[in-house]
Structure 1
Amino acid sequence: MSRDAIWTVPNILTVVRILLTPLFVVAYVGENFNLAWMLFAVAGLTDAFDGFLARIWDQRTQLGAVLDPLADKALLVTSFICLAVKGWIPFWFAVLVVSRDLIIVGGLAVLAFLGVDVKERIKPIWISKFNTAAQIIFVVSVMIHRTFKLDYGFIINTLLTVTAISTVFSGIAYVRRGFKIFSEEGEV
């Protein structure tokens, strides 16, 4: 398949995830929490399936390489802000998640501005993939916990800890990678 193809199944799933984000916000702000967590869960599943299908069907595209992380960040940043505003998660935790993503995106923008081909030089790493999965599981768990008033706070606290640690470590890994690329470019 051509790397320039646009309408592949994985790319369509990514666009669906992007479109589900504002619907999630509308449902959440409207306090239709059953719909909100279901929309978020469906969006989270599209994240798992789009990458899997892109690999097994050999449908990796340049558009998908840009849209997929954008869709992840839009969905997760939005959901963490919503949960923090409602008081469902600690404010510091939302700041941590949002700050990590802003630092990564900002670093990529600086590298791109300096002429670095970030699409070729920066690839997702396992800790980042783990972190995205942990964030999705955390948000769904909090939504279900609060929507159905279930008492499994220990699990939520454990997920919060694991997600916070993976957020920090994945952020550090990307910052280190960015500085390494920056220093390599400066040597040329």
Structure 2
Amino acid sequence: MRQLPNLLTTLRLLLTVPIALLLLAERYGQALSLFAVAGFSDALDGFLARRFGWTSRLGSMLDPVADKLLLVTSYLCLSVTQIFPWWLAAVVLLRDAVIVGGATFYRLLVGPFEFRPTWLGKLSTLLQIVLVLVVLLELSLLPAFAPLRWPLIVLALAVSLASGLHYVWVWACKFHSARNGPLA
């Protein structure tokens, strides 16, 4: 039972491929169903890990990778099918590359660290998820959601850009503090 959160995270990783194939085939209702299962598994694995103390080093590394892989893949597929503009997928991908690059750079130059997402980073991820869900709902069940698409795209874009810049600032401050002491 202790490995159940890791199994759920692995399920989410595995669901990325069929979700991508369904998005590319423009089978949005089925993609929505699997995306919802992936979202539920994310919430459940987090709850189980915290509630029963079933946390693990593997889970703490695998969980954000599964989340990012699912989101980036969804954005790329929705961009390829011209549901999302290419530049939105590029910003989402670039933001994640900045986060991973900053962490890698810090680890190589300074040493180990504990990564904690910022509130702006969490908001960015939440908006990215909401945008995918709203668009999949629009395309499969609720065409009345169509007017929400562009305002959500603009909001997700703005918060993703702000979050990416914020992470650059956070990594720069961490690096400076590790090398020279805290900023005044």
Residue in 2 aligned with 1:21? 16
> What is the RMSD computed on CA atoms of the aligned residues?
2.0
Residue in 1 aligned with 2:172? 179
Instruction: Specify every segment of 5 or more residues in structure 1 that has no aligned partner in the other structure, as ranges.
Output: 1-5
Please give the residue correspondences for 1:122-137 in structure 2 after superposition, counting only pairs within 5 Å: 122-137=115-130
- SS at structure 2 position matched to 1:152: helix
Give me the TM-score of the superposition, normalised by structure 1: 0.86
1:159 to 152, 162, 168: 152
- SS at structure 2 position matched to 1:60: coil
Structure 1 residue 17: Cα displacement = 0.8
1:49 is the counterpart of 2:44: yes
Give me the TM-score of the superposition, normalised by structure 2: 0.88
Check conservation: 2:5, 2:49, Cα contact below 8 A: yes
Structure 1 residue 185: Cα displacement = 2.2
Equivalent position amino acid for 1:126 in 2: W
Query: How far apart in 1 are the matches of 2:74 and 2:134?
Result: 12
Q: Provide the aligned length of Structure 1 versus Structure 2.
A: 181
Q: Which consecutive aligned stretches of 4+ in structure 1 deviate over 4 angstroms post-superposition?
A: none
Equivalent position amino acid for 1:33 in 2: Y
Equivalent position amino acid for 1:152 in 2: F
Query: How far apart in 2 are the matches of 1:166 and 1:36?
Result: 25
Structure 1 residue 10: Cα displacement = 2.1
Query: How far apart in 1 are the matches of 2:84 and 2:26?
Result: 16
Residue in 1 aligned with 2:31? 36
Residue in 1 aligned with 2:92? 97
Check conservation: 2:12, 2:41, Cα contact below 8 A: yes
The one-character-per-residue Cα deviations of 1:88-118 (angstroms, maximum 9, x if unpaired) are 0122111111110111111111112224213
